[in-house]
Amino acid sequence: MKNPIHFTALKTIWIKECTRFLRIWVQTLVPPAITMTLYFIIFGSLIGSRIGEMGGVTYMEFIVPGLIMMSVITNAYSNVAASFFSAKFQRNLEEMLVAPVSNITIILGYVGGGVARSLIVAVIVTIVSGFFVELDIQSYGMIIITVLLTATLFALGGLLNAMFAKSFDDISIIPTFVLTPLTYLGGVFYSITLLPDFWQAVSKINPIIYMVNGFRSGFIGVSDIAPTIAIGVLIIFNIAFFVLAWWLLRRGTGTRT
């Protein structure tokens, strides 16, 4: 990023992306807070009181990190998928592609916007959770690393989805049929130690298991997966998704007619 042109382009894309979701904050930042409040009330207070403890902590404490991570995943993905596809649909993307701006700069710009939105939502949901449970954070470093890697990974995922999407309907296919099942089966509401050995092994194929447990270990010190393994898996997926996004953008996949 030594070239001032690339830095200026990156800053411009970041500002555009942040302005886009902040301008419509009622649609982008408020709904996650309302949705997570309902989760806390229904799953935490009502159902949680009957479940009791899980992993040595109250059920409410157990699900808080998973719910925060779920909001991070959803918002990072949807922000970049919608924004990048809109740029394709409105032919704005072509202006960046013909400009003296590197593909890496374009990727970092859009991903940065998705990460910014997901982090703001994470802070909002964390504040909301404080009304339901007393947070006793174990490792700020683990929390920061996990949330940044997760937000970046799903922002890249949203970018890849937008590249292949040919209509706005295509953007909703992956979240509906892939992300939602993986998230609900990713240990947000339960510990995989409750499952038989076979299904524990199957669950470990789900990458969201590593994100949720890594984040949970930072929050309450409880995890079904070793934190180092969780971080390692996230790094590998981030590198793979970034390289794939760069290669597809370089080839013009989904961006050239």
Q: What is the pLDDT along the chain (257 residues), one digit of tens a residue?
A: 556 777 888 898 999 999 999 999 999 999 988 998 888 888 777 777 777 777 778 888 888 999 999 999 999 999 999 999 988 888 777 777 777 788 899 999 999 999 999 999 999 999 998 888 887 888 899 999 999 999 999 999 999 999 988 888 888 888 888 888 888 888 888 888 888 888 888 888 999 999 999 999 998 888 889 999 999 999 999 999 999 999 998 888 877 65
pLDDT at 127: 92
Q: At a CB cut-off of 8 Å and minimum separation 6, what does 149 contact?
A: 211, 231, 234, 235, 238
C-alpha distances out from residue 118 to 22, 77, 161, 183, Å: 12, 9, 17, 16
In this predicted structure, what is the pLDDT of residue 2? 58
Q: What is the predicted pLDDT for the residue at 3?
A: 63
User: Would you state the pLDDT for residue 87?
Assistant: 86
Written as one letter, the residue type at 221 is G
Domain membership of residue 256 (yes or no) is no
The predicted structure's pLDDT at residue 242: 97
Residue 229 lies in a domain: yes
**Structural domain that includes position 220:** 4-251
Output phi, psi for 188, to 5 deg.
Answer: -65, -45
pTM for the model stands at 0.91
Q: How far apart are CA 111 and CA 104, in angstroms?
A: 10
pLDDT (0 to 100) of residue 47: 76
Give a yes or no: residue 237 inside a domain.
yes
Give a yes or no: residue 257 inside a domain: no
Question: Among residues 108, 90, 81, 126, which one has the least CA distance to residue 219?
Answer: 126
Please report whether residue 23 resides in a domain.
Answer: yes
* pLDDT computed for residue 40 by the predictor: 84
Is 155 inside a domain boundary?
Answer: yes
Residue 93: its pLDDT value, please?
78
Q: Is residue 224 in some structural domain?
A: yes
| All residues at 6 or more sequence positions from 52 whose CB lies less than 8 Å from its CB, including other chains | 58, 59
Give the number of other Cβ atoms within 10 Å of residue 251's Cβ.
Answer: 12
Count how many domains the chain has: 1
pLDDT recorded at residue 30: 92
188, 164, 12, 4: which is closest to 84 by C-alpha? Answer: 164
Examine residue 192 and state whether it is found in any structural domain, yes or no: yes
Instruction: Give the separation between CA 203 and CA 34, rounded to whole angstroms.
Output: 29
Nearest Cα residue to 84 out of 159, 17, 165: 159
C-alpha 64, offset from chain centre: 16
Helix 140-164, helix 59-89: angle, nearest 10: 30
Q: How far apart are CA 20 and CA 148, in angstroms?
A: 21
CA torsion, ordered 29, 63, 58, 196, to nearest 10 deg = 170
The pLDDT value given to residue 144:
94
